[in-house]
Amino acid sequence: MTTIDIHPHIIASDTARYPLAPLGGHQSDWSRTRPVSIEQLVAAMDEAGVQKAAIVQASTCYGHDNSYVADAVAAYPKRFTGVFSVDVLAPDAVERMRHWLGKGLTGLRLFTFGSTMSEQANWLDDPKSYPAWACAGELGLSICLQMSAQAIPQAASMAVRFPNVRIILDHGARPVLEDGPPYNAAASLFALSRHPKIYIKLTPRIFAECRRGKATPDTFFPRMVAEFGASRLAWGSNYPSSEGKLPALLKVARESVACLPQTDRDWIFAKTAQSLYPALAD
């Protein structure tokens, strides 16, 4: 079975060629203590049985300089595509987007919350970003949103304003699941299913959360499929930001969704990724 990862990161050892410029002002701990180069990622994927990947810009290491991801994709064009980052509020945002698309990158990431940003940024639906969103729709770029559940209303607003843009919620927008079925604490996440171009990225954070309190994978993932459909769910390893080796991260992911039919798992581990990033198609 084809397996595609839509959320690995890479970190270069050469800081002269690829200088640090982390969003939030300081480098993430994981990128400093357990960096993985493109060559190491290829080896890890071979070991895990992962055929292709959409490498996501390490925003907490390089900010908006996507050079390393672009060089990695250029070195392995049949195996990778890349998800770049730009300042979507900047006047030259559209120009920068076209630049990175020309380098072979086919997705955009907006980092508004995470390991180096403990407070949810408030600019996700800022009108200054509208030209960038319109450009993404024109170019067919999927947009990943690294955000907290607090920003779900803003994400919904952008889904309405730009209905042709595919939106991917990194880590599923970090829902709280410990209350268990019917998962009332995650009601705002399920409500997003009414927007047909919103997709959910299933990462180690989700697989851990669905085992807390009264939550179980066997009750959570069928609910997710019922709400969104498997064709809007996709696996992302978050390797090496998430601790552990890639084969182990994939094993947990497969075990977590083992309750689903094989056809659903085919979407989660490959077919949804290919719809989001056509460059990864067979």
In tens, the pLDDT along 154-178 reads 999 999 999 999 999 999 989 999 9
pLDDT higher than 70, residue 115? no
Domain of 179? 4-280
Confidence band of 121 (pLDDT split at 50, 70, 90): confident
pLDDT higher than 80, residue 99? yes
In this structure, what token pair is assigned to residue 274?
Answer: 């290919």
**Which CATH number belongs to the domain containing residue 106 in this structure?**
3.20.20.140
Confidence band of 116 (pLDDT split at 50, 70, 90): low
Number of domains, the chain: 1
Helix (H) / strand (E) element for 67: namely: helix 67-75
In degrees and rounded to multiples of 5, residue 216 shows phi and psi of -140, 150
Model pLDDT, residue 117? 66
Q: What is the distance between the alpha carbons of residues 131 and 150, in angstroms, rounded to a whole number?
A: 24
Is residue 122 helix, strand or coil? coil
